[in-house]
Amino acid sequence: MSRLATMYQNWLLQLLCIIAVLSVVRSSQKQPLYILSLLPYPDPVGTQPSWTEGPTLILAEQLAVDIINNRTDILSDYTLELIQGDSGCNIGTKTAAAFIKNTLYSVQNIAGIVGPGCSTSTITVSSLTGNNQIALITVHGAGSLLLEDRVIYPYSFGTLDSTKAFAKAAQRLLVENQWNRVGSLYDPGRVYYSTTLKYFEGLIECQEHFECSTNFIFGVQNASIPLDILRKNNIRIIFLFVGPEFLRRILCLAFHQNMLPPNYQWIIVSRVVEEITSITFTINNAEYYCSNDDMKLMARGSLILHYSLKPIDPPASLDQYINYTEFLSQYESRVTQYNSYVSKPSERIEPSFWATAYFDATWALALALNNSRDELMATIGLELSQYRHGNSFATDIIRKNLLKLDFNGVSGQISFRETTGYVPRLIDVYQINNANEMSIVAYYNSRNDTITAIDDYQFINGTFNQELITVKVHLALGIVYLVFTIGQLALIITLHILTLQFRDKKPVKASSPKLSHFSFIGCYFLIVGATSYIIAETFSGQIDSTIKCNLFYVTYFASSIGGTLIFGTVCARIWRLYRIFVFYLNPGKLITETALITFILTLFLCSLFLCSLWVVFDRLVPMETEQEEITEQHNSDGSSVFNIQVYLDIHCLQDTSIYWLISQLVFNLLVMSIALCLAILTRRIPHKDFKTKRIVLLVYILSGVLMLGYITSYILQARQATVIAKFIVLSTVHNLVIFVTAMLLLLPPVYMAVLELKTQQTKHYL
């Protein structure tokens, strides 16, 4: 029995030996599968790139590779290996050289690329791999919206979202907070920022909630940071599309220009708080310094738009691989281990915010390769180990399987859009608190274009509400004046038609229809001026301030020319009465109608000359002034609500207003003086007919109305009075002049002609 047991034991031992040998043989048959990791590394000799997180991100990628190699359900016949390549960040040529060295001239068959992380280097790699002769999948960590072009970059996929998500998040932030007047500073030398800003500008341009003409966007240079323009134009919400160096310069310069919170809300796109530190710099031959405390004061309450690279509600465990908490633990352990081997403190690394994205990028590429194995073998008989760049048919199969992925990664849900190649991401809205720490107060979901507040957040600076109120006449008052103006237009047109119709009748003929035409034209000018003023002040809406000022110019032109024609006609008529009745003993010197018309035209040309001369010397630059009211409301929880109301008024005629005032007053006083002198000389003429008295009365009334109206309006203009006061004065003057002229000058001849016609018809009937 013992001999039999011994024999079974020997057989079992031999079987275990055979299994162990087969296991070793099978293990030795696992083939290497190479992935090229392109990341930016510090360069102690050459130009330092703007981003150098390669040493810390490669640890996240290696962690993914190690977990995959220890599993049997993914790429079980292969051992993943990373090949490191330095992509740089600022210079595309360095990226291209690293790519060519590690792919085209490499002895290993590269199955795909993870990285780069900068837009410049990613565009360089993606344009190369997009060629059919070099077709190769690239899963990068850049956000440039240029990479959305699927024709140029068909094999480029991003585990982040396109920077369009930042622009859309910013737009939703404006809508939610009812901010309708914003400014932006951006770095035109960085494609990442300039293209994002351009898309953001298109989102808010002339759309609902935003004013077409009040969005101020400026580039920044080492010698120029135009904060003064934003301040002068009352821009309080300012977006910064800049890198860390310009960010610090802008905030420091703003500190020295007293653009402090809570009166200003700074919104930083894709930046983190660690970059807001002390700085010394020179601009326009002036040196500026800001300490850490100064920068903390400037950053207080600032908002930061940044990618969310962790699940909103991380599950306890994931059946595909480790969860977010386990990843952080193992990743930070590797960072600590790395630093233990570094001798120089400057070479130590920190855990990277982007690590989860690169971990998931490695996993996504590995899953796509794993899911393509059978299809590659079935369709073209190709093993993954035989796959090489330039095989566009095989690359298309891997691309298709990459697009099918939909899994919960440590950075969130991973599913690539076919249209853009990007993973839809959440955009976190951070706020810098009093301790200079960031906390998430809201997040934007690019999948459904919504922004969600967290726990009914309030800004550190209080709820920053800015309401821009364009000062203009109330709609009801404007409509009342518009109705009067339209009514007077109908009256003048009716009288003009009747004057033409009855021009052969004695009452009309005696008033000289040719002279009456100038009075009618003057009334039309005044009506155009009144209508322009009503449009400018009541119905302007989103009209550009320059257009609004042009309407003011039309108003003043029409007022000057219209008043000149009406008063010139009155002067001509009184002159004729004066020559008839005062010089009745010398009838041979009666003035002709041609001379009177020449006199009126001369006055008209003088008025036109003065207006044209004013235009030549005026720069036609609209002047915007604002009056600001800031109120603070304290809540029971200790928070504050700041309400900033800015009353914006547009003032034109500023640069030459004094010259315009003097020239117009002198000219109008001259014409009025002539009319008044003639009216006084003819006040006791022998002929007591009403038509004589009414013309004299017209002169007295118009002189008083126009003098008071012009002087008052010019004083209001010079003192930058509210538009309501100017509107009432100018519109009232226009309407009174038209009404008095119609009632005393234009209506009586027509009325008498109608009476004469009725009398003749009655006699004919009898």
* Per-residue pLDDT at 362: 96
Least confident range from 76-85, 219-228, 298-307, 346-355: namely 219-228
pLDDT tier at 645, thresholds 50, 70, 90 = low
If one compares 589 and 117, the residue with the highest pLDDT of the two is: 117
* Per-residue pLDDT at 417: 93
61-65, 605-609, 646-650, 723-727 — most confident range? 61-65
Q: Is the dihedral of CA 163, 164, 169, 170 positive or negative?
A: positive
Q: Stretch 2-22: mean pLDDT, rounded?
A: 41
162-171, 501-510, 614-623 — most confident range? 162-171
Q: Stretch 86-107: mean pLDDT, rounded?
A: 81
Per-domain residue ranges of the chain: 31-158+327-410, 164-309+428-461, 470-757
For residue 104, give the DSSP letter.
I
* Per-residue pLDDT at 611: 78
Half-sphere exposure of 332 (CA within 13 A, CB side): 7
* Per-residue pLDDT at 22: 41
pLDDT at 23 over 60: no
If one compares 690 and 32, the residue with the highest pLDDT of the two is: 32
Return d(Cα 216, Cα 204) in angstroms, integer: 11
If one compares 170 and 611, the residue with the highest pLDDT of the two is: 170
* Per-residue pLDDT at 113: 94
Least confident range from 328-332, 339-343, 676-680: namely 676-680
* Per-residue pLDDT at 231: 80
pLDDT tier at 538, thresholds 50, 70, 90 = confident
pLDDT tier at 313, thresholds 50, 70, 90 = low
Return d(Cα 65, Cα 401) in angstroms, integer: 19
pLDDT at 97 over 90: no
* Per-residue pLDDT at 422: 95
* Per-residue pLDDT at 5: 36
pLDDT at 588 over 80: no
**Angle value at C-alpha 589, between 585 and 595, nearest 5 degrees:** 145
* Per-residue pLDDT at 569: 84
Q: Stretch 381-387: mean pLDDT, rounded?
A: 91
pLDDT at 8 over 50: no
* Per-residue pLDDT at 358: 95
57-66, 554-563, 585-594, 683-692 — most confident range? 57-66
Q: Are 237 and 183 in contact (CB under 8 A)?
A: yes
pLDDT tier at 148, thresholds 50, 70, 90 = very high
pLDDT tier at 713, thresholds 50, 70, 90 = low
pLDDT at 461 over 60: no
* Per-residue pLDDT at 334: 94
* Per-residue pLDDT at 647: 61
Return d(Cα 332, Cα 320) in angstroms, integer: 21
**C-alpha pair distances (Å), 69 with each of 26, 31, 359:** 14, 11, 14
Give SS3 for 243: coil
* Per-residue pLDDT at 139: 96
pLDDT tier at 9, thresholds 50, 70, 90 = very low
Q: Stretch 43-61: mean pLDDT, rounded?
A: 78
* Per-residue pLDDT at 628: 57
Q: Any idea which fold 164-309+428-461 has?
A: Rossmann fold (3.40.50)
**C-alpha pair distances (Å), 225 with each of 192, 252, 257, 273, 294:** 19, 11, 12, 21, 19
Q: Stretch 400-416: mean pLDDT, rounded?
A: 92
Give SS3 for 407: strand
* Per-residue pLDDT at 159: 94
Return d(Cα 733, Cα 728) in angstroms, integer: 8
pLDDT tier at 3, thresholds 50, 70, 90 = very low
Give percent above pLDDT 70 in the chain: 76
Q: Stretch 602-629: mean pLDDT, rounded?
A: 69
Query: Considering only the top CATH level, what class is 31-158+327-410?
Result: alpha beta
**φ, ψ dihedrals at 15, nearest 5°:** -65, -40
* Per-residue pLDDT at 462: 44
pLDDT tier at 648, thresholds 50, 70, 90 = low
121-135, 170-184, 684-698 — most confident range? 121-135
pLDDT at 205 over 80: no
147-151, 583-587, 597-601 — most confident range? 147-151
Average of per-residue pLDDT values in the chain? 79
Q: List helix spans (H) across 178-243.
A: 191-204, 227-232
If one compares 739 and 469, the residue with the highest pLDDT of the two is: 739
Query: DSSP labels for 525-543?
Result: HHHHHHHHHHHHHTS-TT-
pLDDT tier at 391, thresholds 50, 70, 90 = very high
* Per-residue pLDDT at 701: 77
pLDDT at 425 over 50: yes
Query: Considering only the top CATH level, what class is 470-757?
Result: mainly alpha
Q: Stretch 29-42: mean pLDDT, rounded?
A: 89
Least confident range from 318-322, 591-595, 610-614, 701-705: namely 318-322
Return d(Cα 699, Cα 680) in angstroms, integer: 10
Q: Stretch 398-420: mean pLDDT, rounded?
A: 93
If one compares 611 and 78, the residue with the highest pLDDT of the two is: 78
Q: 181, 174, 186: which is closest to 217 by C-alpha? A: 186
pLDDT tier at 470, thresholds 50, 70, 90 = low
Angle, nearest 10°, between helix axes 191-204 and 164-177? 40
Return d(Cα 567, Cα 555) in angstroms, integer: 18
pLDDT at 254 over 80: yes
Same fold, 31-158+327-410 and 164-309+428-461: yes
Per-residue pLDDT reduced to its tens digit, 227-249: 888 887 777 888 999 888 889 89
